[in-house]
């Protein structure tokens, strides 16, 4: 068998699934999983939901548990460059050969499933079952499953974990999850299982009340990260040093190799979840501390405030909550590197509340140039539509303080590669380029760097 050819055929098939298959839901998902032998029950698990931060928390937990000596399966989404990124053991993506093998095995079950009158699973559901099967084959100790968009009706919610985790909650996917924080929090809280402890770091008081209510109904002990003490010891170029203490542990001089301030919250969430998972495994305080320190120091999550070259940073911030956190990190990064000129490159999906995102960032940063582009997906908003909004924002002068006028140069080109090359050429030692708005854009930018830069 030609693995490369078969792999490409399979990826094309999986990517085509949205054209003919709708979400089957947890009831049919449980039937399909039973058909393939309930692989998700053959290992321990941790389940993660939230609007922002899920991928980072998932990876941090994986790192910490790996450092503790466990073999960890990781299921995340979306992928940036290759579908294999969604399924990995530790930091190693599933190989093309294993991807082909697991797909072919699952497809046999799906064919039988459909012959009995059931639907074809959706894109996300299909890849989730592939991950569950692969993890069983690989003999993992624990799987860390990240939900897709929601929680209550998510394919991964078939999993009964030992710890549930809910990260930052904000207004996103409102057409599916609800138009208020309360409604969205309720959907995310749907992952809470009876008597399974939940770690919550939503960043929103209204969301916290929803989490508390659902946790009480499920008899689940709820751990809120905000209850602990945080000290930021040092913010330097590309590194954050911090210490935390609570009723369970005291950890000093933890280091994350990033300038993204929001990763501190993600780290605190991951640490508490890891502690709750490991507390029954007779772990000493010293061993836990070392696992955390080494796990965080080795943390890397592509496309999340990632410096891809000198003074060029990409971040998948694609909703208002994420943009607020992204803006904080831009300020911190710029201060630590003495950046005098901030340039932004932006593309966004048409279904996002991008006007609020743009209003916030233009009011919060002294921007010199705003580059506007598109990405190669039908969901991408047209660059000229975004440009028109930015021109209105730049022309207003009634709301600017702190010594800047709010005016900035706007450059538009729907071709992200051409615009990136231009933006790179215009950089000097005192300026930095920050790219944000969509993970699809992040993926295309990374491809551009591989091809031409």
Same domain, 409 and 312: yes
Same domain, 16 and 147: yes
The enclosing domain of 120 has a CATH number of 3.40.1190.10
Beta-bridged to residue 142, according to DSSP, are 44, 72
Same domain, 345 and 397: yes
| 16: pLDDT strictly greater than 70 | yes
Q: Which pLDDT score, from 0 to 100, does residue 411 have?
A: 95
If we measure between CA atoms, which residue out of 63, 57, 103 comes closest to residue 76?
A: 57
**Domain that residue 437 falls in:** 306-452
pLDDT digits (tens, 9 = 90+) for 81-107: 899 999 999 999 999 999 999 999 999
How do beta strands 92-93 and 87-89 pair? antiparallel
Beta-bridged to residue 184, according to DSSP, are none
pLDDT digits (tens, 9 = 90+) for 275-323: 999 987 878 889 999 999 999 999 988 888 999 999 999 999 999 999 9
**Residue 331 confidence class, pLDDT cut points 50, 70, 90:** very high
Same domain, 222 and 122: yes
Q: Which pLDDT score, from 0 to 100, does residue 171 have?
A: 72
Same domain, 359 and 258: no
Residue where one domain finishes, among candidates 277, 297, 317: 297
Q: Which pLDDT score, from 0 to 100, does residue 299 have?
A: 93
| Spatial contact of 74 and 59, defined as CB atoms under 8 Å apart | yes
If we measure between CA atoms, which residue out of 236, 433, 238, 432 comes closest to residue 339?
A: 432
Residue where one domain finishes, among candidates 297, 328, 356: 297
Sign of the CA dihedral running 175, 181, 186, 188? positive
Provide the token pair at 278.
């490991």
Question: What average pLDDT does the segment 191-208 reach?
Answer: 94
**Residue 196 confidence class, pLDDT cut points 50, 70, 90:** very high
Same domain, 252 and 199: yes
Distance CA 301, CA 382 (A): 28
Beta-bridged to residue 250, according to DSSP, are 245
Q: Which of 25-29, 271-275, 427-431 is predicted with the least confidence, judged by mean pLDDT?
A: 25-29
Q: Which of 2-6, 94-98, 257-261, 296-300 has the highest mean pLDDT?
A: 94-98
Q: Which pLDDT score, from 0 to 100, does residue 224 have?
A: 94
Count Cα neighbours of 206 within 13 Å in the Cβ-side half-sphere: 10
| 406: pLDDT strictly greater than 80 | no
Residue where one domain finishes, among candidates 240, 272, 297: 297
The enclosing domain of 314 has a CATH number of 3.90.190.20
Mean pLDDT of the chain: 92
Provide the CA 55 distance to its chain's centre, in angstroms.
3
Question: What average pLDDT does the segment 5-10 reach?
Answer: 95
Same domain, 366 and 293: no
Q: Which of 283-287, 288-292, 325-329, 347-351 is predicted with the least confidence, judged by mean pLDDT?
A: 283-287
Distance CA 328, CA 313 (A): 14
Q: Is the peptide bond before 300 cis (omega within 30 degrees of 0)?
A: no
Same domain, 119 and 148: yes
Distance CA 173, CA 179 (A): 9
pLDDT digits (tens, 9 = 90+) for 24-80: 778 899 999 999 999 999 999 999 999 889 999 999 999 999 999 999 999 999 898
Q: Which pLDDT score, from 0 to 100, does residue 175 have?
A: 61
Angle formed at CA 275 by CA 226 and CA 30, multiple of 5 degrees: 100
Report pTM: 0.91
Provide the token pair at 303.
């496309």
Element (DSSP H or E) covering residue 5: helix 3-16
Q: Which of 224-238, 263-277, 423-437 is predicted with the least confidence, judged by mean pLDDT?
A: 224-238
Same domain, 237 and 289: yes
Count Cα neighbours of 302 within 13 Å in the Cβ-side half-sphere: 19
Q: Which pLDDT score, from 0 to 100, does residue 149 have?
A: 80
| Spatial contact of 270 and 57, defined as CB atoms under 8 Å apart | yes
Same domain, 407 and 265: no
Question: What average pLDDT does the segment 370-380 reach?
Answer: 91
Element (DSSP H or E) covering residue 372: strand 367-372
Question: What average pLDDT does the segment 339-350 reach?
Answer: 95
Distance CA 321, CA 174 (A): 13
Our count of domains for the chain comes to: 2
Distance CA 415, CA 90 (A): 35
Angle formed at CA 230 by CA 228 and CA 236, multiple of 5 degrees: 160
If we measure between CA atoms, which residue out of 139, 132, 144 comes closest to residue 41?
A: 132
Question: For a pLDDT cut of 70, what percent of the chain falls above it?
Answer: 96
Angle formed at CA 163 by CA 162 and CA 164, multiple of 5 degrees: 130
**Residue 396 confidence class, pLDDT cut points 50, 70, 90:** low
The answer for residues whose C-beta is within 8 angstroms of residue 408's C-beta and 6 or more apart is: 362, 367, 368, 369, 370, 390, 394
Same domain, 371 and 310: yes
Q: Which pLDDT score, from 0 to 100, does residue 344 have?
A: 97
If we measure between CA atoms, which residue out of 267, 360, 327 comes closest to residue 60?
A: 267
Same domain, 118 and 245: yes
| 398: pLDDT strictly greater than 70 | no
If we measure between CA atoms, which residue out of 66, 44, 27 comes closest to residue 297?
A: 66
Provide the token pair at 412.
């538009």
Question: For a pLDDT cut of 90, what percent of the chain falls above it?
Answer: 76
Question: What average pLDDT does the segment 400-410 reach?
Answer: 67
């Amino acid at each position: 068998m030609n693995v490369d050819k078969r792999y490409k055929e399979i990826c094309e098939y999986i990517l085509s699934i949205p054209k003919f298959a709708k979400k089957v839901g947890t009831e049919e998902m449980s039937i399909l999983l039973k058909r393939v032998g309930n692989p998700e029950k053959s290992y321990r698990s941790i389940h993660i939901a939230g609007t922002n931060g899920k991928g980072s928390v998932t990876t941090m937990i994986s790192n910490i548990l790996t450092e503790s000596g466990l073999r960890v399966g990781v299921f995340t989404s979306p992928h940036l460059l290759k579908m294999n990124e969604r399924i990995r053991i530790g930091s190693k993506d599933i190989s093309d050969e294993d991807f082909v093998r697991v797909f072919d095995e699952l497809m046999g079950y799906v064919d039988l499933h459909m012959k009995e009158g059931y639907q074809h699973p959706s894109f996300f559901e299909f890849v989730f079952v592939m991950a569950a099967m692969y993890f069983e084959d690989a003999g993992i100790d624990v799987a860390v499953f990240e939900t897709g968009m929601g929680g209550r009706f998510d394919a991964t919610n078939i999993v009964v974990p030992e710890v549930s985790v809910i990260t930052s909650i904000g207004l996103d996917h409102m057409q599916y999850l609800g138009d208020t924080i309360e409604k969205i929090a309720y959907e995310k809280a749907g992952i809470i299982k009876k008597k399974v402890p939940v770690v919550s770091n939503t960043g929103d008081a209204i969301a916290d009340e929803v989490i508390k209510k659902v946790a009480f109904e499920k008899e689940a002990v709820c751990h809120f990260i905000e209850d602990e003490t945080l000290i930021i010891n040092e913010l330097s170029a590309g590194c954050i040093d911090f210490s935390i203490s609570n009723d369970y542990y005291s950890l000093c001089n933890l280091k994350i190799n990033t300038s993204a301030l929001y990763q501190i919250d993600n780290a605190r969430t991951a640490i508490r979840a890891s502690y709750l998972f490991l507390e029954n495994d007779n772990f000493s305080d010293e061993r836990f501390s070392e696992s955390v320190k080494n796990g965080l120091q080795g943390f890397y999550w592509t496309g999340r405030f990632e410096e891809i070259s000198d003074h060029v940073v990409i971040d998948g911030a694609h909703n208002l909550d994420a943009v607020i956190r992204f803006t904080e990190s831009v300020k911190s990064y710029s201060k630590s590197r003495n950046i005098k000129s901030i340039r932004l490159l932006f593309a966004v999906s048409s279904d996002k509340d991008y006007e609020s995102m743009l209003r916030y960032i233009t009011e919060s940063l002294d921007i010199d140039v705003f580059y506007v582009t598109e990405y190669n997906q039908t969901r991408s908003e047209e660059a000229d539509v975004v440009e028109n909004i930015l021109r209105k924002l730049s022309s207003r002068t009634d709301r600017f303080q702190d010594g800047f006028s709010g005016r900035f140069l706007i450059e538009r080109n729907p071709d992200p590669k051409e615009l990136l090359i231009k933006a790179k050429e215009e950089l000097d030692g005192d300026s930095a380029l920050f790219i944000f708005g969509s993970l699809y854009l992040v993926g295309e930018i990374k491809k551009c760097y591989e091809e031409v830069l």
